[in-house]
Amino acid sequence: MFYLLIITVFVIVLAFHGALLLWVTKLFKIENPTYKKNLIVSGSTDVSGTFLIFILVIFGLYSNLFANLISVILVFLVFHNYLRKYYQTAWKKSLKIYTVFIIFSLILAPLIVFSIRGFIMSPYLVSGDAMNPTYLNGDYLIAQKIYKDISRTDIVVINLKSQPEVSIIERVVGLPGEKVEIKNGKVLINEQNLDETYIIGSTSGETSVVLSENQYFILGDNRDNSFDSRNFGPIDKSRIKGKIFYRVGNFNN
């Protein structure tokens, strides 16, 4: 899923850059520009730029000014090569088009970022110990927002009605239509013990609730240190903002 989302984001960026370059080439009165040709030009530039950034990071040269300057020149040469192939532009005109293209790419980049974060995936930072041992305080996680179904044991990001600005990360244990009970330190689903190998401690409290349509019961893995459905009850599906699918790393290490 992680690689599929990364590919989706990359395709969105490519499509946007193709459209932007089409506009720029028309601005410079290039003869008969097409979206397909500009997509190839911008796509080749994006791929070569991404590859060079990857090389710089691998060899620890990302902060080296000279290495970055060489990378910029190489990316421009790729850009000019394809622009000259399709539109027979001289290098000076290619440089002008490239400069305007990069400037507008940077200006419009926040629009792409906000769109991706709003509809495809978002980063979240774990604060607290509610999801120990699965996720630790300081873990940097990625949640995807294009899920179709929510399954038991999925780890989700929710916003509470009482605190819509606060995001909470918890695990789904109860699904719509199920009877969820907590007694004697155990979680029961439809009167059957739920096998939970991922938790710390027993599940305190006494609860019995039948979930309605589009309702879920969520709990933290660290049962003695979690603010969850034992406190605020079941949550509606509309409060679920994403499903955690990737851990980037820990900011505290």
Q: What is the average pLDDT value for the chain, to the nearest integer?
A: 91
Number of domains in the chain: 2
Residues 142 and 233 in one domain: yes
With cut-offs at 50, 70 and 90, classify the pLDDT of residue 60.
confident
Whether the model clears a pTM of 0.85, i.e. scores above it, the answer is no
Pick from 119, 134, 169: which residue ends a domain? Answer: 119
Residues 112 and 33 in one domain: yes
Of 97, 121, 84, which is closest to residue 28 (Cα–Cα)?
97
The vertex-147 CA angle with 246 and 5, nearest 5°, equals: 50
With cut-offs at 50, 70 and 90, classify the pLDDT of residue 9.
confident
Pick from 100, 119, 138: which residue ends a domain? Answer: 119
Residues 104 and 225 in one domain: no
pLDDT of 161:
78
Residues 35 and 111 in one domain: yes
With cut-offs at 50, 70 and 90, classify the pLDDT of residue 2.
low
DSSP string, 29-56: T-SS--HHHHHHHHHHHHHHHHHHHHHH
Sheet containing 192-193, strands listed edge to edge, beginning at the edge strand earlier in sequence: 192-193, 186-189, 179-183, 207-210
Does residue 157 have a pLDDT over 90?
Answer: yes
Residues 133 and 192 in one domain: yes
| pLDDT tens digits, one per residue of 87-123 | 999 999 999 999 999 999 999 989 888 888 888 889 9
Residues 197 and 208 in one domain: yes
* Measured distance CA(19)–CA(138) in Å, rounded: 39
pLDDT of 253:
67
Residues 7 and 79 in one domain: yes
| pLDDT tens digits, one per residue of 220-253 | 999 989 999 999 999 999 999 999 998 988 877 6
Structural domain including 149 reads: 121-250
Residues 105 and 131 in one domain: no
Please give the backbone phi and psi of residue 177, each rounded to the nearest 5 degrees, phi first.
90, -10
pLDDT of 61:
84
Residues 216 and 143 in one domain: yes
